A = this chain, B = another copy of it.
Amino acid sequence: MPCKSDERSAWRCEFPILDQEVNGKPLVYLDSAASSQKPRVVLDTMDFYYRMDNANVHRGVHALGQRSTEAYDNARAVVAKHLNAVHTDEIVFTKGCTEAVNLVAASWGQANLKPGDVVLCSMAEHHANLVPWQLAAEKTGATVKPVPIHDDGQLDWDAYLALLNENPVKMVAIKHVCNTLGTVYPVKEVVSEAHRVGALVTVDGAQAVPHRPVDVQDIGADFYILAGHKAFGPMGVGALYGRLPLLRAMPPYQGGGDMIRTVSFDGTTFREPPNRFEAGTPNVAGVVGLAAALEWLASQDFDRIEVHEQDLLASATEALEEIPGVRVLGKSPGKASVISFVTDFAHPHDIATILDSEGVAVRAGHHCCMPLMGRLRVPATVRASFAMYNDNKDKEVLIQAVAKARRIFS
| B286 contacts A235, C-beta separation under 8 Å | yes
| B127 contacts A263, C-beta separation under 8 Å | yes
- Taking chain A's interface residues, is the majority helix, strand, or loop, or is none over half, making it mixed? mixed
Complex contacts, A284 vs chain B, CB 8 Å: 235
Kindly report which residue of chain B lies nearest to residue A252, judged by CB atoms. B135
Kindly provide the distance from the CB of A51 to the nearest chain B CB, expressed in whole angstroms.
5
A168 within 8 A of B: no
| B134 contacts A255, C-beta separation under 8 Å | yes
Beyond A31-B56, A54-B37, whether A265 also contacts B145 by CB under 8 A is yes
Beyond A51-B17, A281-B229, whether A59 also contacts B363 by CB under 8 A is yes
A146 within 8 A of B: yes
| A95 contacts B95, C-beta separation under 8 Å | yes
Residue-wise interface mask of A (337-368) relative to B, using a CB-CB cutoff of 8 A (1 in contact, 0 not): 00000000000010011011000111111001
- For this chain, the copies found in one complex come to 2
| A99 contacts B254, C-beta separation under 8 Å | yes
Docked pose: A102 CA to B107 CA in angstroms = 14
Complex contacts, A263 vs chain B, CB 8 Å: 127, 130-131, 370-371
A376 within 8 A of B: no
Among listed A62-70, A158-166, A188-196, A316-324, interface-contacting one: A62-70
**Highest count of chain B CB atoms <10 Å: which of A46, A55, A260:** A55
* Chain A interface bracket (under 10, 10 to 19, 20 to 34, 35 or more): 35 or more
Identify A60's interface contact among B121, B285, B361, B368, CB under 8 A.
B361
| B34 contacts A54, C-beta separation under 8 Å | no
Docked pose: A98 CA to B353 CA in angstroms = 40
A262 within 8 A of B: yes
Beyond A62-B31, A256-B98, whether A43 also contacts B38 by CB under 8 A is no
Kindly report which residue of chain B lies nearest to residue A143, judged by CB atoms. B265
A16 within 8 A of B: yes
Interface positions, chain A 260-315, Cβ under 8 Å from B, are 260, 262-265, 268, 279-286
| A236 contacts B361, C-beta separation under 8 Å | no
Kindly report which residue of chain B lies nearest to residue A29, judged by CB atoms. B64
Docked pose: A374 CA to B264 CA in angstroms = 9
A52 within 8 A of B: yes
**Highest count of chain B CB atoms <10 Å: which of A20, A65, A259:** A65
Docked pose: A38 CA to B50 CA in angstroms = 7
| A283 contacts B283, C-beta separation under 8 Å | yes
Identify A257's interface contact among B105, B127, B146, B236, CB under 8 A.
B127
Complex contacts, A285 vs chain B, CB 8 Å: 234-236
| A279 contacts B98, C-beta separation under 8 Å | yes
Complex contacts, A365 vs chain B, CB 8 Å: 59
| A352 contacts B235, C-beta separation under 8 Å | no
Residue-wise interface mask of A (62-102) relative to B, using a CB-CB cutoff of 8 A (1 in contact, 0 not): 11110000000000000000000000000000011111011
| A256 contacts B364, C-beta separation under 8 Å | no
Kindly provide the distance from the CB of A76 to the nearest chain B CB, expressed in whole angstroms.
16
Kindly provide the distance from the CB of A24 to the nearest chain B CB, expressed in whole angstroms.
11
Kindly provide the distance from the CB of A333 to the nearest chain B CB, expressed in whole angstroms.
27
A: residues with CB less than 8 A from B are 16-17, 20, 22-23, 27, 29, 31, 34-35, 37-38, 43, 46-47, 50-56, 59-65, 95-99, 101-102, 105, 121, 123, 126-128, 130-132, 134-135, 144-146, 227, 229, 234-237, 252, 254-260, 262-265, 268, 279-286, 349, 352-353, 355-356, 360-365, 368, 370-371, 374
User: Closest 6 A-B residue pairs measured CB to CB?
Assistant: A98-B280, A236-B283, A131-B255, A98-B256, A62-B361, A95-B95
Other than the given A56-B229, A65-B361, A132-B254, 7 more pairs (CB < 8 A) read: A17-B53, A22-B62, A38-B54, A61-B352, A102-B279, A131-B259, A237-B283
